[in-house]
Structure 1
Amino acid sequence: MKEEYRKWHSPHLNQECNMLVFGHGGMPLVLFPTSQGRYYQNKDEGMLEAARWFVDEGKVRIYCPDSIDHLSWYNKDIPASARAYNQTCYDRMVLEEIVLPAQQETGVQRIATAGCSFGGYHAVNFAFRHPETVSYVFSMSGIFDISRFAPDGQDDNVYFNNPMDYIKGDNDPHLWRMGIVLGCGEQDVSLEDNRTLSRLLGDKNISHWLDVRAHAVHDWPLWRQMFPQYLSLLLPSY
């Protein structure tokens, strides 16, 4: 499996960013790490090995960036507005410094996103904020109600980084053309968040798959099983 390490200074974050890129072609997929995870986490936990066939066959090219959760939602030393602002800066970094180059490298204009646990939040939030850019989103045990990280109030940055809030009023037609998978375990701590987001999508008649696995818990063995199954749903989008 082809692997490439990239490092650059991000103008949106004003800091160094790291990323691993796997594969030689196919649909670009941004695979986010779990809470406060690093760019190598998904590789170390076997997610890339689980996706090896799709990568080697040129079906998908996987981009694994760093998170900045320690500066945004997990930074308890700053107010909610500052946490949300940092998240918005991260979103712009992903869009302009990862996704736009990935589109140019692969010739594919609508990408995919995926992630486990808090990475599932990032995958869904990015996809729903940029539905014209994302054709598939695969969340594995994601949480989606970000208000728990902003107990001291809400502004536009908090609101527009909380999928549970802004999806209710979002009528972008690309949402109805997106392949959306919300996967979790029957004994998963994220189960209620997934059921709630599924209901909100259902209320808008947005097609999606709520995939609840019997007896499964919130952990890597479940996600390694889910990921290649979800990748098998990808269709070329050129």
Structure 2
Amino acid sequence: MTENYYTWHSPHTDRPFEMLVFGDRGFPLIFFPTSMGRYYESKDRGLIDAVSWFVDNGLVKIYCVDSADAWSWYNKQAAPYERARNHAAYDQLILQEVLPRAVAETGFNRVAVSGCSFGGYHAANFAFRYPEHVSYLFSLSGVFDMRFRMDHYYDDNLYFHNPVDYLPGNQHPDLWRMGIILGTAEKDITRRHNEELSGILTAKNISHWLDVRPNAVHDWPVWKDMFPHYLSLMK
């Protein structure tokens, strides 16, 4: 499997940024790590090996990005407004630095986004904010409400990065053209979050699949089963 490492200084966050890219062709997929995870997490956990057939056969090219959680949503040393502001800067990094590279390198004009656990939040938030750029959303055990990270503080940056708040009023037509899968498990700590988001999508008549795996929990073995299954459904 082709593997390339990239690093640069991001003008949007004014911080170094790192990324691993797997594959040399195929539909571009941006993959977000779990809470405070790093760009190499999915490789180390065996998730990339689980989808190696899709990469080796040129069906997908996977961009494993670094996270910003340690200095955004999870940064208890920063004031709540700074946490949300730092996440907004990270969001622009993905939109204006990673996305253009992915589409330029692959020749596609849209991407897929995915992630496990807190990475599922990042994927969903990016997809729902920029549906004109996203064809597929695969959220694996995600959460979609950041208010629990904000110590009762609320502002516009939180609202516009909190899918359960802004999605009900989002009327972008490309939302109805996106392939959306919300993966969770019967005993998953995020199950209710996925059921809540599914309810919002259902109320808007947005087609999606709420995939609840029976007798399973919030863990990597489940995600390694989910991810190749979801990739197999791309058209």
| CA-CA distance at 1:152 after TM superposition | 2.8
CA distance in structure 2 between the aligned counterparts of 1:163 and 1:51, rounded to whole angstroms:
28
Q: Which amino acid aligns with 1:76?
A: K
Structure 1 residues 147-156 or 33-42, which shifts more? Answer: 147-156
| CA-CA distance at 1:182 after TM superposition | 0.3
Q: Which amino acid aligns with 1:74?
A: Y
| CA-CA distance at 1:78 after TM superposition | 1.7
Which 5+ residue runs of structure 1 have no aligned equivalent? Answer: none
Partner of 2:72: 72
| CA-CA distance at 1:154 after TM superposition | 1.0
Secondary structure of 1:70 counterpart: helix
Partner of 2:112: 112
The CA deviation string for residues 160-196 of structure 1, in whole angstroms up to 9 with x for no partner, is 1100100010000000000010001100000000000
| CA-CA distance at 1:14 after TM superposition | 0.5
Aligned length: 235
- On the 8 A contact 1:180/1:209 being kept in 2, the answer is yes
Which 5+ residue runs of structure 2 have no aligned equivalent? Answer: none
Partner of 2:215: 215
Partner of 2:48: 48
CA distance in structure 2 between the aligned counterparts of 1:176 and 1:50, rounded to whole angstroms:
29
Secondary structure of 1:62 counterpart: strand
CA distance in structure 1 between the aligned counterparts of 2:217 and 2:233, rounded to whole angstroms:
23
Secondary structure of 1:137 counterpart: strand
Is residue 95 of structure 2 the alignment partner of residue 89 of structure 1? no
Partner of 2:14: 14
TM-score, length-scaled by structure 2: 0.99
CA distance in structure 2 between the aligned counterparts of 1:24 and 1:146, rounded to whole angstroms:
35
Partner of 1:121: 121
- On the 8 A contact 1:113/1:138 being kept in 2, the answer is yes
Runs (4+) off by over 4 Å: none
Q: Which amino acid aligns with 2:120?
A: G
Identity of aligned residues (%): 56
Task: Kindly report which structure 2 residues correspond to 1:1-238, keeping only aligned pairs within 5 A, or say none.
Answer: 1-235=1-235
Secondary structure of 2:132 counterpart: coil
The CA deviation string for residues 24-77 of structure 1, in whole angstroms up to 9 with x for no partner, is 111100010000000100000011001100000100000001101011100112
Structure 1 residues 71-80 or 215-224, which shifts more? Answer: 71-80
| CA-CA distance at 1:79 after TM superposition | 2.1
CA distance in structure 1 between the aligned counterparts of 2:190 and 2:225, rounded to whole angstroms:
17
